Amino acid sequence: MRTMMLRHAALLAIAAALTLSPVARAQPTGPDVNYDESRVGELPLPDPLVAWGTEVKDAATWRQRRRPEILELFRAQVYGRSPAPPAEMRFEVDAPVSALDGKATRREIRILFTERPGGPVMDLLLFVPNGVERPVPAFLGLNFQGNHTVHPDPGITLSSSWMRDGPGVVDHRATEATRGRAASRWPVETIVSRGYALATAYYGDIDPDFDDGFQNGVHPLFYREGQTRPDADEWGSIAAWAWGLSRALDYLETDNDVDADRIAVIGHSRLGKTALWAGAEDERFAMVVSNDSGEGGAALSRRWYGETVGRLNRVFPHWFCANYRQYSDDVEALPVDQHMLIALAAPRPVYVASALEDRWADPRGEFLAAKAAEPVYALFGLEGLGVEEWPPPDTPVGDVIGYHVRRGGHDLTAYDWGRYLDFADRHLGSE
Ligand code: GCU
């Protein structure tokens, strides 16, 4: 019976993972899944400000000693190490066209990671507002179903990459039926009207999201002679997607319409985990936004609530590095917790957002992680959340660490974007 229930719970988790429709996902249940706050446990968190027994008391020591140490722990034990950009990387930039009824300029850029024919490429879609002074600040985020799904604009190239089958996806390829399907998650008109550019790419261009032993995507480009999969401390898929975001930023640095010093990296769910890791690995990102990123993202791993490290490793064995599996049944042994990932953004602005019904992602655990990152911001004389308690729904808080818990389920909505744009106005200063 127990096995059956576990199996049922695992299937639910997989179903939730594979259903990428914007409607609220089912919250997995089962004997190993806890949603009861009284059973969460009180495992002490590792202290971001204690380096080998010595307290870190100033920003310089954080930067020179403690930050590199924590980054190294996340690399070796959680997401895996990523390679430097490939020397042969090139950009093929399409001619700009007018879009959104003349309110924006749209451009598509192909980022070729290798000179090898048929090698992986990433297609970046860029909307830049017209009628404002350039260069403009920008949001950069990966999408789940192809660039053509973020807006119904028929001029956006239909993705020809591998995609999970589902409505409008036939034999793992997108059809016209999916155009604009994810538009509710990408309010392009609003973003552009607020003076920001939007750059996005399909995450599967970098590494298709299934466990194939790392034979497709960008991983094999970096294998040593004879190597057939990443070593235990080398990158999984999340690190590869984050690496792809940095390659998109490499392009944006060459684009005169966009201010590469004012780019916010954003992501939802597994791509929220990815955005946090991209912001940690690449300090060129000026702001970091995690939307409903949950376990392995903004939520504290030491809280037994919703998804756990063990479940992540079992259901998505390709997301993290192999070393992370050591902690599946022993989360206390993890030398880090996710508040330290958020703290790696310091002193840059970081926004963590949760959704009240998204219990699988442990919304309160996301707030507590953001809260526990505050001492690092304090070293820089910066105020974090400015509140002690989990705020009521739909009430944004925080100065340099932003946070809200929205009413409703697991999704990236217009409400969330409104808060990110307000936050960006304060920190990236768009007119
Ligand atoms: C699953 C998974 C989460 C992840 C989410 C998503 O629910 O368990 O960790 O964030 O999929 O990316 O949609």
CA of 14 to the centre of ligand 1 (A): 9
The two beta strands, 173-174 and 197-202, are unpaired
Q: Is 270 in the pocket of ligand 1 (CB under 6 A)?
A: yes
Q: What value does the mean pLDDT take over residues 250-266?
A: 98
CA of 326 to the centre of ligand 1 (A): 21
Q: Is the pLDDT reported for residue 32 higher than 90?
A: no
The answer to whether the beta carbons of residues 359 and 373 sit under 8 Å apart is: no
Confidence (pLDDT) at 24: 54
Q: How far apart are CA 147 and CA 157, in angstroms?
A: 7
pTM for this prediction: 0.94
Q: What value does the mean pLDDT take over residues 273-281?
A: 99
Confidence (pLDDT) at 8: 41
Q: Is 205 in the pocket of ligand 1 (CB under 6 A)?
A: no
Confidence (pLDDT) at 30: 85
Q: What is the rounded average pLDDT for all residues in the chain? A: 94
Q: What value does the mean pLDDT take over residues 35-64?
A: 94
CA of 270 to the centre of ligand 1 (A): 5
The answer to whether the beta carbons of residues 427 and 349 sit under 8 Å apart is: yes
Confidence (pLDDT) at 158: 98
Q: Is the pLDDT reported for residue 357 higher than 90?
A: yes
Q: Active-site positions?
A: 269, 410
Q: Is 294 in the pocket of ligand 1 (CB under 6 A)?
A: yes
- Helix (H, G, I), strand (E, B), or coil: what is residue 17? helix
Lowest mean pLDDT among 11-15, 186-190, 220-224, 378-382: 11-15
Confidence (pLDDT) at 430: 57
Q: Is the pLDDT reported for residue 431 higher than 90?
A: no
Q: How far apart are CA 40 and CA 189, in angstroms?
A: 42
Confidence (pLDDT) at 169: 98
206: part of which helix (H) or strand (E)?
A: helix 203-206
Q: Is the pLDDT reported for residue 421 higher than 60?
A: yes
**Residue 20 confidence class, pLDDT cut points 50, 70, 90:** very low
Q: Is 209 in the pocket of ligand 1 (CB under 6 A)?
A: no
Q: Is 292 in the pocket of ligand 1 (CB under 6 A)?
A: no
- The neighbouring-strand residues paired with 54 are 51
Lowest mean pLDDT among 29-33, 188-192, 389-393: 29-33
Q: Is the pLDDT reported for residue 12 higher than 90?
A: no
- Helix (H, G, I), strand (E, B), or coil: what is residue 109? strand
**Residue 47 confidence class, pLDDT cut points 50, 70, 90:** very high
Q: How far apart are CA 381 and CA 402, in angstroms?
A: 16
Better-predicted residue by pLDDT, 1 or 281: 281
Q: Is the pLDDT reported for residue 10 higher than 50?
A: no
For a pLDDT cut of 90, what percent of the chain falls above it? 90
Specify the residue for token string 């697991």: 410
For ligand 1, atom 1, the nearest C-alpha belongs to 17
Number of C-beta neighbours around residue 334 at 10 A:
19
Summarised one tens digit per residue, pLDDT across range 367-406 is 999 999 999 999 999 999 999 999 999 999 999 999 999 9
Better-predicted residue by pLDDT, 94 or 3: 94
Atom of ligand 1 nearest to the CA of 268: 12
For ligand 1, atom 8, the nearest C-alpha belongs to 17
Confidence (pLDDT) at 2: 36
Q: Is 28 in the pocket of ligand 1 (CB under 6 A)?
A: no
Q: Is the pLDDT reported for residue 274 higher than 90?
A: yes
Q: Is the pLDDT reported for residue 238 higher than 90?
A: yes
